[in-house]
Amino acid sequence: MSTDWATVYTETYSDLVRFLHRKVWDIDRAQDLAQEIFVKALGTDPDNPRAWLFTVANNLARDEARAAMRQKKHLVLIKGEAEARQESAPRAAEEAERREKMEVVRKALEMLSEKDRTVLLLWDAGFNYEEIAEQTGLSKGAIGTTLARARAKLVEAHGRLEGRDAASG
């Protein structure tokens, strides 16, 4: 039986973009990567299309990060500084605050190990423990423990960054 990619796209696209965005920190790039993944998918018929998509997404995001490191480029967090300048003062202040919060979250996520970050992001994308285990190679029984540990580390990292920001501000 052939995969109904239109249905998979409808059911998975937003989760896939959210997952990719938290990997590359650029919403436009995340959307481009998601489209690229679905184009690649059209020639395939995997047993578990959702898992296949997220595996490809994880690999593409990892490749992007490696290329950026090799080229000493920084990943772009937010696009459109020119647009922010055109906004009214209250709107610009709200946007700046939102960017600061996103930057703290990004830094906190980067402080996690690759395994912890991937497990958290897959869980956030709607994967169940069995699917996360398949994606990461961990045992299904280890997923709950890994998620709990990763959440605690994320909260701790976020708190440290918030404390550092408050102390420096």
How many Cβ atoms are within 10 Å of 59's Cβ, its own excluded? Answer: 11
Confidence (pLDDT) at 146: 92
Confidence (pLDDT) at 70: 57
Write the pLDDT tens digit of every residue in 107-154: 888 898 989 989 988 888 888 899 899 989 999 899 989 989 998 998
| 73 pLDDT more than 50 | no
> Which pLDDT band, with edges at 50, 70 and 90, does 106 fall under?
confident
Distances (CA, A) of 141 to 129, 134, 144: 8, 12, 7
Write the pLDDT tens digit of every residue in 8-59: 999 999 999 999 988 888 889 899 999 999 999 988 999 999 999 999 998 8
> Which pLDDT band, with edges at 50, 70 and 90, does 71 fall under?
low
> How many Å apart are CA 122 and CA 1, to the nearest integer?
27
> Which pLDDT band, with edges at 50, 70 and 90, does 69 fall under?
low
Can you name the CATH fold of 88-169? Arc Repressor Mutant, subunit A (1.10.10)
Confidence (pLDDT) at 18: 92
Contacts of 135 (CB under 8 A, 6+ apart): 51, 54, 55, 58, 118, 122, 127
* Mean pLDDT, rounded, for 149-161: 89
Confidence (pLDDT) at 41: 92
Please tell me the pTM assigned to this model.
0.58
* Mean pLDDT, rounded, for 59-77: 62
